[in-house]
Amino acid sequence: MFSNMLPAVALVASLAARVAVAVNPVEVRGQDFFDTVTNNRVMIVGVDYQPGGQAGYMPQRQIDALSDGDVCLRDAVVLQSLGVNTIRVYNVDPTLNHDDCASIFNYAGIYMIIDVNSPLGGESINRAEPWTSYHEGYLTRIFGVVENFKNYPNTLGFFSANEVMNDVESSEFNPPYIRAVQRDLKNYISKHVTRTIPVGYSAADVREILEDQWNYMQCSVQGEDDNLSRSDFFGLNSYSWCGGDATPQSAGYTTLAALFDSSTIPVFFSEYGCNEVKPRVFEEVPYLYGPEMTMLSGGLVYEYSQEEADYGLVDINDNGTVSLRVDFDNLQTQYRTLNITLLETGNSTAATLTPPRCSANLISNAGLSKNFTLPRVPPGGQQLIDNGIDNPTQGRIVDVSNTRPSQAVYGSNGQQIQNLELRQVANGESNTPTDASSGTGTNPASSPSPTTGAAGKVEFGVGYLMAAAAMMAVWTSI
Ligand SMILES: *[C@@H]1O[C@H](CO)[C@@H](O)[C@H](O)[C@H]1NC(C)=O
Ligand SMILES: *[C@@H]1O[C@H](CO)[C@@H](O)[C@H](O)[C@H]1NC(C)=O
Ligand SMILES: *[C@@H]1O[C@H](CO)[C@@H](O)[C@H](O)[C@H]1NC(C)=O
Ligand SMILES: *[C@@H]1O[C@H](CO)[C@@H](O)[C@H](O)[C@H]1NC(C)=O
Ligand SMILES: *[C@@H]1O[C@H](CO)[C@@H](O)[C@H](O)[C@H]1NC(C)=O
């Protein structure tokens, strides 16, 4: 690439191209996620991000949730002010360029957990007949997602599958396929990625098979390949806390706490936020992040935008503007009560718990698979794992030159919020709920002036550019 340049010029050019502020990569240690640089615990304070719903995934038109930087800039500003540090993105096209979006979220201190699947044929495991959907073409797709997102430091993890087991019946044959997919993903990552990226499953909250599914996914079998098939984390889609009258007992949170206290992998809500009582008040949030639930690693609220299912924190208007809903205000208020010190405190006991050995007596429900002999890698698959897929689209962090969204954002009271700007977190930091409210920029010369009133309850920290040069750091080795 630089062959026509003098070495010194090439070095400068390569430095300029790669200098960027980045969040620190995250890894799993026992029950918790940890920041690999600060060694602080990482608690997921997240939102599921799926603008347009499932229909927003349009590979035939080269569109997915992370393909348009202008849209991501608008939404990253909104999500940053909400206080989240993670988004989950369900359906991505591994052939598209996601550099602008991934870089914008990274700049804002927001991690991404990416589902490797999509609802389209050939792009996920078919729960009715998993053996028909586990093939070379499917593996090419999911390895493509790994290639696409592996270079972004804010890629926190990959979901191997979502709610494939959604009742007892579907739990008979599918669990070994999920572990096989995880084995293949983790083998691919170990051969083609310079860091470990966690891989885990996102489970439906079917209480009669919950413990069994979690044990099936976390247990270890003798032999390296079988160990590789273990989940690195366990996501639970849980909608059991409904409205302001719910209690930790009535919502079943105390049961979950007792169950997952001994987990040997991180457990978090990959979706939560019951909408039976509206507007949502999110009183589960202080409990979920409080001292009683430290065995869980937080969660992702379902979901950013208002879609047919009626779970939105914001409305995305037809003209591209965004209107915050009261649910947004309520969630932001709850996030601001969180104790960041507690969130960042690891538990050294929980970090060293060893996984149970896989065996039939670990599984109590007669309907759930007790088969830990995994399907073999399908024909052609091992070749992909060993040599990598052909012509992958590999992302990289790029400069974020524009930090002011062009679209208007309206508060829940209907008034336009002024001076919207993406705030750059310090190198190695992620976004926290209190950043948005306290507005403590590190550069006193550009202290923020949070706007109240215009946005109702909503306060946006605005206009504080970091002392860019001081904050810059090289995030990849050169
Ligand atoms: C599998 O994992 C267990 C628990 O982490 C470990 O004790 C064992 O040595 C591993 N086996 C192999 C072959 O790596
Ligand atoms: C965009 O649409 C919303 C909702 O219909 C409306 O309230 C707003 O005024 C429009 N804004 C612009 C800039 O057209
Ligand atoms: C926040 O959590 C830390 C660590 O557990 C604790 O020492 C501190 O008292 C908590 N602060 C508040 C205000 O509860
Ligand atoms: C630390 O983890 C252990 C094992 O899961 C648990 O029993 C204990 O209650 C945890 N301690 C705290 C302070 O959360
Ligand atoms: C377990 O699953 C493997 C792989 O799918 C299969 O070959 C084997 O027959 C199954 N064993 C039993 C007892 O069903």
pLDDT tens figures, 147-167: 999 999 999 999 999 999 999
The residue among 469, 387, 379 whose CA lies nearest residue 426 is 469
Atom of ligand 1 nearest to the CA of 223: 13
Ligand of minimum distance to the alpha carbon of 342: 3
For residue 389, count other CB atoms closer than 10 A to its CB. Answer: 20
User: From the CB of 317, is ligand 2 less than 6 Å away?
Assistant: yes
CB 92 within 8 A of CB 63: no
**Minimum CA distance residue for ligand 3 atom 14:** 339
Q: Which helix (H) or strand (E) holds 139?
A: helix 136-149
For residue 4, count other CB atoms closer than 10 A to its CB. Answer: 7
Residue 351 has what pLDDT? Answer: 82
Give the mean pLDDT of 67-95.
98
If one compares 444 and 422, the residue with the highest pLDDT of the two is 422
- Helix residue ranges, H only, 244-308: 253-260, 284-288
pLDDT tens column, 282-313:
999 999 999 999 999 999 999 999 999 999 99
pTM of the model as a whole: 0.88
Question: Residue 214 — pLDDT band, cuts 50, 70, 90?
Answer: very high
Could you tell me which residues come within 8 angstroms of residue 35 by beta carbon, excluding any fewer than 6 positions away?
A: 24, 26, 41, 42, 430
Q: Which helix (H) or strand (E) holds 89?
A: strand 86-89
In this structure, the strands spanning 314-316 and 322-324 are: antiparallel
CB 474 within 8 A of CB 18: yes
Determine the Cα–Cα distance for residues 132 and 419; give it in Å rounded to an integer: 53
For residue 427, count other CB atoms closer than 10 A to its CB. Answer: 18
Q: Which long-range contacts (CB under 8 A, 24 or more apart) does 247-252 make?
A: 248/287, 248/292, 251/284, 252/207
219 CA from centroid of ligand 1 (Å) = 10
375 CA from centroid of ligand 5 (Å) = 7
User: From the CB of 290, is ligand 4 less than 6 Å away?
Assistant: no
Query: Residues 17-29, buried b or exposed e (16+ Cβ, 10 A)?
Result: eebbbbbbbbbbb
Q: Which residue has the tokens 């006991």?
A: 349
Residue 442 has what pLDDT? Answer: 28
| In the chain, domain spans | 2-474
Following DSSP, what letter does each residue of 380-391 receive, concatenated? THHHHHHH--SS
For residue 105, count other CB atoms closer than 10 A to its CB. Answer: 31
Token reading at 19: 């200098």
The residue among 68, 58, 136 whose CA lies nearest residue 93 is 58
Residue 254's φ and ψ, nearest 5 degrees, are -70, -35
- What is the CATH T-level fold of the domain 2-474, as seen in this structure? TIM Barrel (3.20.20)
Residue 384's φ and ψ, nearest 5 degrees, are -65, -45
177 CA from centroid of ligand 5 (Å) = 11
369 CA from centroid of ligand 5 (Å) = 10
Catalytic residues: 163, 271
Give the mean pLDDT of 323-349.
96
User: From the CB of 223, is ligand 1 less than 6 Å away?
Assistant: yes
Cα-based angle 414, 330, 48 (whole degrees, multiple of 5): 95
CB 114 within 8 A of CB 156: no
Question: Residue 477 — pLDDT band, cuts 50, 70, 90?
Answer: very low
Question: Residue 462 — pLDDT band, cuts 50, 70, 90?
Answer: very low
pLDDT tens column, 354-364:
899 999 999 99
Ligand of minimum distance to the alpha carbon of 226: 1
AA identity, residue 165: M
- Helix residue ranges, H only, 366-441: 381-387, 433-438
Give the mean pLDDT of 74-93.
98
Share of the chain above pLDDT 90, in %: 82
AA identity, residue 185: L
Residue 196 has what pLDDT? Answer: 95
Q: Best of 338, 342, 348, 432 to mutate for ligand 3, by most ligand atoms within 8 A of CB?
A: 342
User: From the CB of 227, is ligand 1 less than 6 Å away?
Assistant: yes
**Minimum CA distance residue for ligand 3 atom 4:** 342
Residue 360 has what pLDDT? Answer: 95
The mean predicted confidence, pLDDT, of the chain is 88
pLDDT tens column, 386-435:
999 999 999 999 999 999 999 999 999 999 999 999 999 999 999 998 75
